[in-house]
Chain A
Amino acid sequence: MNVFRLCGDMSHVFSIVVLLLRLRVAKNASGISLRTHELFLLVFLTRYTDLFTTYYSLYNSCMKIAYILSTASIVYMIRLSDPICTTYDKAQDTFRHWAFAVGPCAVLATLTHFISGEGSGYSLFVNIQELLWTFSIYLESIAILPQLILLQRYREVENLTGNYIFFMGSYRALYILNWIYRTYYEPGYRHHYVAYFCGVLQTLLYADFFYYYMQSKRRGGRFSLPT
């Protein structure tokens, strides 16, 4: 564990807490994409199947369970919890996440899994687990898209929603620094280029948002996106 990864994880946790608080306190889900959070839930469920098979550390296991439970409760609140669910604007949350996110990521994951020969020599179970892990890496990189597109529609960005996206983006940017650090200071550290590629892609998707977020913070005014 290095300082970059710890800060990245904390940024991730913080973004989830900000969103949970916003939903609980404001009892309002407007401007929040249910589809993004369903994608994140799928990411966590497919990546953390190793909860049952490999023990890394208490920290890892607790965080994994916390991510799954908190994201599940966000999905639950937006979908089913009254009165929050009545404020969710389904008509605006239109990104076709099955066709343009889940489907392509499943195809890409299958292709890279077999081309890389990653699972050869392992049991079928491990192969499926590895395949799901690769799928989750691809899917995480673009899971924020429905939320960013929804934001473009509203233009005026609420403070808490803006903070949520800012911390969510910072998390993966800090992970990139963590990978560089580990490459230099951890002998025997094994590279997963798919994860690196997706981590950079994920961070780039936030770049535009970061720019306008910083500008609005500097001006100290309201945060709105350009047309």
Chain B
Amino acid sequence: VDAKSTKDEL
């Protein structure tokens, strides 16, 4: 699963 994308946001 990719970090550094909108997935590390809320």
> Which A residue sits closest to B9, measured CB to CB?
A5
A67 to B9, CA, bound (A): 13
Contacts of A191 in B (CB 8 A): 5
Do the beta carbons of B8 and A179 come within 8 Å of each other? no
Interface residues on B, range: 10 to 19
Do the beta carbons of B6 and A54 come within 8 Å of each other? no
Do the beta carbons of B1 and A54 come within 8 Å of each other? yes
Do the beta carbons of A189 and B10 come within 8 Å of each other? no
The count of chain A contact residues (Cβ–Cβ below 8 Å) is: 26
Contacts of A190 in B (CB 8 A): 2, 4-5
Shortest CB-to-CB span from A186 to chain B, Å, is 7
Contacts of B2 in A (CB 8 A): 190
Do the beta carbons of B10 and A192 come within 8 Å of each other? no
A86 to B7, CA, bound (A): 39
> Which B residue sits closest to A53, measured CB to CB?
B1
Task: Identify the stretch in A34-42, A56-64, A93-101, A202-210 within 8 Å (CB) of chain B at 4 or more residues.
Answer: A56-64
A113 within 8 A of B: no
- Interface hits, A37-84 → B, CB 8 Å: 50, 53-54, 56, 60, 63-64, 67
Residues of A at under 8 Å CB distance from B? 5, 9, 12, 50, 53-54, 56, 60, 63-64, 67, 126, 129-130, 133, 175, 178-179, 186, 188-192, 195-196
> 10 tightest A-B contacts by CB?
A190-B5, A195-B6, A192-B6, A56-B8, A190-B2, A188-B4, A189-B4, A63-B10, A192-B5, A190-B4
